[in-house]
Structure 1
Amino acid sequence: MLKRQLQSIYRNLNKRVLATNGHHSVFLLRCLSAQAPAAVKSHNFHPAHLHFIGRTPLVYRSIGQELERAAAEYGNTESIVSCHEKKRYTYRGLLEEADRVAAGLLKLGLKQGDHVGIWTPNNAHWYLTMLGVARAGLVSVGINPAFQGPEVDYCLKKVKVKAVIMPETFKTQNFYEIMKSICPELPDSVDGSINSASLPHLKRVIVDTGSTLKGALSYDELLGLSSLAEREFITKLQRHIVPDSGCNIQFTSGTTGQPKAAVVSHYNFVNNGIHIGNRNELNSTSRICVQVPLFHAYGVVITIMAAMTHGSTLVLPAAGFSPADSLRAIVDEKCTVIHGTPTMYVDLIKKQRELQLPLKTAKMAVTGGAPCSPQLFLDIKNVLGLEHVRTVFGMTESTAVIFQSRPGDSMEQILNTVGHLQDHVEAKVIDAEGKTVSFGERGELCVRGYATMLGYYDDEAKTKETIGRDKWLRTGDQFILQEDGYGRIVGRLKEMIIRGGENLFPKEIEDFLNTHPQICETHVIGVPCERFGEELCAFVRLDDSSAKVSREDIKAFAKGKLAHFKIPRYVIQIKNFPKTTSGKIQKFKLAELYEKEYRTKLVSKI
């Protein structure tokens, strides 16, 4: 009987997949455990393994083909508004400018598959360049605009970048001078073609500037290089660009401290964008206030690709994150959606309490890039006066999103989970031995599906460590998968703190401390302890008007709510947290700060 039921499930699922998804049927034909009959689930052990197929089929298109579709369907809709540059592009104008970039790069001698570095803050030419690079069959490489000479040098060498596009300056940073420091041959290059001993692959430097810089081509010159026939060739080229080929390289943190370079495909980008946009209910009337950096997976996929696939408008308030500029852009440009990381929302809430601007058009906030505490979710909704708060959860190696809120989710689901498994993604949770645990049990999250990166560039060993022969991607996240498809993040496995034999995850403690009326942000690390091996140290940021918060205050607040061993032994007040440009907290710098400034005096008090 049981065998016949299982055979029936596979037959029905196969018919469904063949009817909706054509050539992807082999990949999608995996038993969705949530669809299994009661007889199959009657055993005590329910393995935490789900494959959520969803309702919308995957598409087989390149980014360039998707841009053509968007231009045809949303031609006169604004695609991007750069407030600080006073620039606006419709979808039709975006396609035209992207093809100028594409044709210009090919005329400079770049060939399909070559890598183009985009080392710039949130300017309109970031968006134009990324799409132009994709239309030319090249691969964009996102480089953090905060990177200094040695960091940029590493990125350019690691992935053999052929051309770099950048501004002349941003804030106190002079990009041209930094480039000269790592490529001294730049000013002496003949006809703008670089021949560098230290960077043998680098051939072109393109600068968004009105000045004449030796050895560099201006961005306007790049746009004017091509003829009409050469731009028309770009349209013909699209049918020859394979959606499964690489389109973008994202640098991600490595265990050794050196960034790894994750290669993702057109197919990854387009489909993740479509399904992210579906969950966030984006359409051609959606106007997104973009606070996140475009070079990051949040910016390039969750923001750019989700907007482009749904005809939505991106609004850039400033070149770098500025809470005041974000709030004014929401008002002036009638933004309906806000994108940001948790730390950005902390600052945005603080600024809104000060300015009290009328955010009448804003309806929804989307948070991602790092876990968000339930208290912060409530503050986002209430202080900014929003109808909806949504979360996205994923990683660079999975293109962007693998779990996400769904329309109609309850507040409990929004506050206490990272959302529901994304369409066409398979997930399981395993123990230290690699065995699948039960639903509701903790373990490492593994995912498999269309969104998995192609691999780490020129690093087969690291790729094999992350993606097994069975194509399961190990996320490194301690996770709980529920039978209903929703997930709960416990914390990063590497951040787990072992105190006297107890395994503690900072996120649980951070979420609790963030409910304290005087605390607006908390981050917990493990610090050395002779007796317990490790102790908990909480760095807290208070509201400006708040008095000091001591460990005794925390103990009193936690009484009856938190186990004694989860109460931080040390509490350190801090005005600002060290963050990456993408808004993630750099906990290793908190550990360095503890060792350098606090360890001796704190331990001596015990």
Structure 2
Amino acid sequence: MMCSVVQVEWAKMGKIGRIFLGVNKTYRMQNFSTKQSYYHRTSDFPLKPVTLGQLAEIASYKYGDRPAIISCHQKKQVTFGEVLEEADRLAAGFANLGLQRGDKIGLWAPNLVEWYLAYVACARGGFVAVLMNPFYQPQEVEQMIKKVGIKSLICGDTFRKQNYYNILNEVCPEIAHCKPGKISSQKVPSLQHVVMITDDSKKGTFKYSDILDLADEDSIKMVKKNQNKINMDDPCNIQFTSGTTGNPKAPVQSHFNIVNCGYFCGMSVGLHKKHQKICMQNPFFHVFGTVVAISSSINHGSTIVLPSDGYDPEKNLTAIVEEECNVIFGTPTMYVDLVAVQKKRNEKNIKVEIALSGGALCPPALFRDMMDVIKVKKVMSVYGLTEITAAVFFSTENDSEYQELNTVGKLQEHVEVKVVDTDGHIVPYGVPGELHVRGFSTMLGYYKDKTKTNEMIDSNGWVHTGDQFILTEDGYGQVVGRLKDVIIKGGENIYPKEIEEHLLTHPDILIAYVVGLPHERLGEEVCACIKTRDGIQLTVEEIRQYCRDKIFNFGIPSVVEIMDSFPTTVSGKVQKHKIVENLVRNKLQK
């Protein structure tokens, strides 16, 4: 096929040149190419028309005596058969409290066996699980209860510095004067029951075991009988966005979303081939936990291993060795820490075959460290959003080294994507633009927020991800960066991802994030925030010299900050807006 002059010049420019040119200046070229960035991946495997509760029942028949979850810190192990039995008892107990299908149950606790069981129980009872960050403080707990109308709240006892009952007393002062199940609060009027995962009785609350004891034979039979009355398109859970760019929203995901995303995630990782034991570094409340971990493991009979109730790299490595985990789930930050711990301990009995990285972009240098230091046989990536139920692009077992290190994998089955310019026109393959997604994984919408839902999902069903993306003809994707991360310096668009990737090739840089800081003349200036090996200090001039001839002059950082840690969400996503806020605040205080 003949190429136009414009296409030839575009190709000569190179990737970094294309990025720094600014996407607004490249979009017009889409008219010169017949190969546009649209891809629809079909599948030989049909979608499953079942609910999460029905899936748990299927798993109990197929994998009954196999451990579904092992909690190292609790010294507990529960089989798939026991999961179904206890989940049905719990669902029956809630039904006897008066909860009906569609009622909201908040899960506000760290990684515990009881969290897992309660999540499955919500699906079995037709209740909607509302997944809450275990670090939420009183104001956030109150906001979430009121936002979606939580009727029952299942919470932990203590976790790190959290005392859940003390926080509840701030949110609902009446609790200490109410009988269990009879809460009446002015601040959170929807809340009727609080269930605490503890052996100690606390005023106004039920113990977890109390709910199990409320179930009887008839109510358990009713739970089983009602499975066919729960629709696969019914809401299954409400999963708040993690708030990396501001206030969290409340995406609602259906049973159909969660079951099928978990199925194909598990297929991509190879969970269907044999019994796998997964070291779970992520929190359950995040979409990585509920879909990529819980749903995929129930689909394929894999065992989830919980090293601790919260993130702890030392305990993660111990669990990997002692439980002989052959799969690890985590974010890039978690793998940086795991590599550091393994360098110190030099454990010999590591049998990890696959390490899956998601929740943030994983640099190529870290991939190599995971293989060289942790001795992982294969490193895989997953890309997705809460609004599209966790995963849209996923590494495959046949990926080349280039695809492993430079892409977020191949498009998920039964999904279509396109990359568009600011006018909504599809750009050619290889040209950056905003990624739009359409398919079975699309959320039902933001809870009672049509305005935000319509901003996210257009009238044709396309989800606007807000991510700058490059799509290849064979369905692989590469993230350029977030639209909101674009630095505008003197009117020029600068995309941090390319600078970050180059900085990570420096032998002394472990982590790199690039942000825009306010500048009186230019509007914004480029700031590189880096973590170095063994506390090595790098100057601005050293960084600038390393970037010369590799990055456009306008994109070379003018500010360098050496940092020991970065502000993150509990799920491990770095919050760039907080990095900027902290740096600006520190500058003003000087």
- Give the shorter-chain TM-score range: over 0.9
- Please give the secondary structure, in 1, of the residue aligned with 2:173: coil
Q: Deviations over 1:9-49 (max 9, x none)?
A: xxxxxxxxxxxxxxxxxxxxxxxxxxxxxxxxx98322211
Q: Which moved more, 1:228-237 or 1:471-480?
A: 228-237
Identity %: 45
- Please give the secondary structure, in 2, of the residue aligned with 1:252: coil
**Are 1:408 and 2:398 matched, yes or no?**
yes
Aligned to 2:61: 72
1:232 positional shift: 2.0
Aligned to 1:259: 248
TM-score (norm 1): 0.90
> 8 Å contact 1:406–1:420 — kept in the other structure?
yes
Identify the structure with bigger relative contact order (alpha carbons < 8 Å, sequence gap 6+). 2
1:498 aligns with one of 488, 493, 499: 488
Residue type at the aligned position of 1:456? Y
1:115 aligns with one of 98, 104, 113: 104
> 8 Å contact 1:365–1:390 — kept in the other structure?
yes
Residue type at the aligned position of 1:214? K
1:317 positional shift: 0.2
1:328 positional shift: 0.4
Q: What root-mean-square deviation, in Å, do the aligned CA atoms of Structure 1 and Structure 2 show?
A: 1.5
Q: Distance in 1 between matches of 2:312 and 2:180?
A: 39
Q: Deviations over 1:276-296 (max 9, x none)?
A: 000100045200000000000
1:254 positional shift: 6.6
Q: Deviations over 1:449-470 (max 9, x none)?
A: 1000000001011111111111
Aligned to 1:355: 345
Runs of 4+ in 1 over 3 A off after TM superposition: 253-257, 598-601
**Are 1:316 and 2:325 matched, yes or no?**
no
Q: Distance in 1 between matches of 2:160 and 2:588?
A: 35
Aligned to 2:257: 268
Gaps of 5+ in 2: 1-30
1:461 aligns with one of 451, 473, 481: 451
> 8 Å contact 2:179–2:204 — kept in the other structure?
yes
- Please give the secondary structure, in 1, of the residue aligned with 2:398: coil
1:257 positional shift: 3.2
Aligned to 2:10: none
Q: Which moved more, 1:525-534 or 1:214-223?
A: 525-534
Q: Distance in 2 between matches of 1:591 and 1:445?
A: 26
Aligned to 2:363: 373
Aligned to 1:394: 384
1:133 positional shift: 0.6
**Are 1:61 and 2:22 matched, yes or no?**
no
> 8 Å contact 1:359–1:385 — kept in the other structure?
no
Alignment of 1:72-221 (within 5 A): 72-221=61-210
> 8 Å contact 2:350–2:374 — kept in the other structure?
no
Aligned to 2:24: none
**Are 1:535 and 2:505 matched, yes or no?**
no
> 8 Å contact 2:548–2:556 — kept in the other structure?
no
Q: Distance in 1 between matches of 2:297 and 2:497?
A: 31
1:229 positional shift: 2.3
> 8 Å contact 2:278–2:329 — kept in the other structure?
yes
> 8 Å contact 2:129–2:236 — kept in the other structure?
yes
Q: Distance in 2 between matches of 1:191 and 1:322?
A: 35
- Please give the secondary structure, in 2, of the residue aligned with 1:144: coil
Q: Distance in 2 between matches of 1:206 and 1:420?
A: 42
Aligned to 1:476: 466
1:360 positional shift: 2.7
Q: Distance in 2 between matches of 1:435 and 1:373?
A: 30
- Please give the secondary structure, in 1, of the residue aligned with 2:250: strand
Q: Distance in 2 between matches of 1:500 and 1:153?
A: 43
Aligned to 2:477: 487
> 8 Å contact 1:392–1:419 — kept in the other structure?
yes
TM-score (norm 2): 0.93
**Are 1:302 and 2:302 matched, yes or no?**
no
- Give aligned pairs, total: 559
> 8 Å contact 1:263–1:457 — kept in the other structure?
yes
**Are 1:514 and 2:514 matched, yes or no?**
no
1:266 positional shift: 0.3
1:236 positional shift: 1.0
1:277 aligns with one of 247, 259, 266: 266
Check 1:494–1:69 CA distance in 2 against 1; reply closer, same or farther (3 A cut): same
Residue type at the aligned position of 2:500? E
